Amino acid sequence: MTPGLMISAPASGTGKTMLMLGLLTALRRRGLVVQPFKSGPDYIDPGFHLAASGRASFNLDAWAMEPGRLIAHATGQPPADLVLAEGSMGLFDGVATKGETGIGSSAEIAQMMGWPVVLILDVSGQAQSAAATARGFATLRPDLPFAGVVLNRVASPRHDRLIREGMDQAGIRVLGSLPRQGNITLPERHLGLIQAEETAGLQAILDHAGDFIAAHCDLEAIIAAAAHRALPEAPAPRPLTPPGGRIALARDAAFSFVYPHVLEAWRRAGATILPFSPLADEGPDDSADCCWLPGGYPELHAPRLAACDGFRSAMHRFAGTRPVHGECGGYMALGAGLVDADGKRHQMLGLLGLETSYAKRRMHLGYRRADPLSALPGLGRTALRGHEFHYASILSQPDAPLARVTDATGAAVEETGSHRTMSGGGHVTGTFFHLIAPAAT
C-alpha cells in the first residue's frame, strides 16, 4: 500500500476541508502524486479533491462497505506517492449500530489502513487546555496511529507559544499553526459546500489554500508521518453490477450527485456511460439500454426543468421500453410535481406519481439499507446500502413501494422509493437514497 494520512478533527466545522485542499494543492506543486479519499458518504468533497489533486477521489465508508470493498478501493487506484483521506464529522463519530465493517467513523478507516491521524484543532478561546483535547484523541484508542495536530485559528504568536507548551507537555507533535486571519472559506448551501464545478474562482481558492498551508505547516514532517499497515485477508466484494451496457447518465448542475466509485465500477465492468444534460433540454442517447438520473438540486432549477419539453418527451419515449432509475433529486424529477421553497408547484416528468415539497423544509439524513420488493436495473433484488440527505417532504407517493427501507438502527423509514411498469415494457424506479454498495450482511 501507499503510505497515507487521515485528516480529521474533533468535530465538523473545524477546518478539515481547508487543510485537505491546501495540502493537496501544496504537495502537488512539489511534484508529488497524491491519491485522495473521503471517509464517509459525502459526495461533494470528492469533487474538490479532484480539482486540487488532479486525481479522482473515492469514498471509504465503514458502515456501507465490507472490508473487501474498502481494501479494493484503497489499493486499486493508480500508483501514487502519498494518500490523503479526509475524515467526516469528528474522528470517532458514526452511527449507533455497526454496519458492514463498523459504525462509519473515520477512526475505523485510519486504524484499518494504518494511516496516522493528523488532527486539526480549533484553538480559539483556549491555550494550554487544547493539549488535553489532543491527548484524549491521541490515546483513546491505543491501536489508532496518531501523527500530530495542526492548530487552527491561532490568534497571535503568544497564543501559539502557549499552546505549543501544552502540547510539548502532553507529548503531542505540532505539525502546523494556522493564524486566524488567514482562514479560507468555501461557499455553502443547505447540503454543505457548493459543488466544485459551480464554485466561482475555485482555482484561486485552491491556490490561496496551498499558499496558506505551505506557509504555516511543516510539509516535510507531514509527508514523513505517512504510514500504512498490512491489510487483513478479506473476501472479494460483491460486484456493483452496472444497470446496463450503455448507460445514459443525466449530468449537469441539477443532477450531479453520484459516487465516483459507482461510476468507476460500472466502467470496469465494461459499461459505457453516455452523459446528457436535462437543463440543456437534452434526452438520453437512444443507443442506451438504461437511463440513470442522479441526485442533485432539481429544486433550484425546477422552473427550467418544467419548461424542458424536449427532455420530457425524450424521457417518456425512452422509459416506454427501457429501465429508468432516479436517486433522490433524480427520483423527484421522475415524479409528477415538485413544490419549491416559495410554495409554487412545478411540473416534473410524470413517469412516477411522486409529489414532493420544499415549502416546509425537513431534513432527512442518514444511512439506509434497502431490501427491494421489485428489481432495480442491473441489481435485481439484491439488498443495498446507501445514504439519504435532502430537505424535501413527501406530499404523495402513490406508486408501488420499491423496497423495504430501514435506517442504521433497523427502524423503518417512509421513503420506500417507487416503481412503475410501463405499457411498452419499460420499468421506472426511484429512491431517496444514494446507492453506495450491495449489502454483504
Q: Catalytic residue numbers?
A: 328
Residue 45, Ramachandran bin (φ over 0: left; ψ between -120 and 50: alpha; else beta): alpha
Q: Report the C-alpha dihedral over residues 355, 326, 348, 390, rounded to 10 degrees.
A: 50
Q: Decide: helix, strand or coil at residue 229.
A: coil
Separation of alpha carbons 315 and 308, rounded Å: 11
Q: Decide: helix, strand or coil at residue 154.
A: strand
Separation of alpha carbons 390 and 328, rounded Å: 8
What are the backbone angles phi and psi of residue 314, rounded to the nearest 5°? -65, -40
For residue 338, what is its C-alpha cell? 415538485
| CB contact set of 20 (below 8 Å; sequence gap of 6+) | 7, 36, 45, 49, 52, 84, 86
Please report, as a single letter, which amino acid is at residue 174.
V
Q: Decide: helix, strand or coil at residue 104.
A: coil
What are the backbone angles phi and psi of residue 14, rounded to the nearest 5°? -95, -20
Q: How far is CA 122 from CA 40, 55, 426, in A?
A: 22, 29, 54
Q: Which residues pair with 327 in a beta bridge?
A: 431
Separation of alpha carbons 421 and 164, rounded Å: 65
Separation of alpha carbons 85 and 93, rounded Å: 16
**CA nearest to 151, candidates 142, 141, 143, 159:** 159
Q: Which residues pair with 324 in a beta bridge?
A: 291, 428
Neighbours of 50 (CB within 10 A): 17
| CB contact set of 158 (below 8 Å; sequence gap of 6+) | none
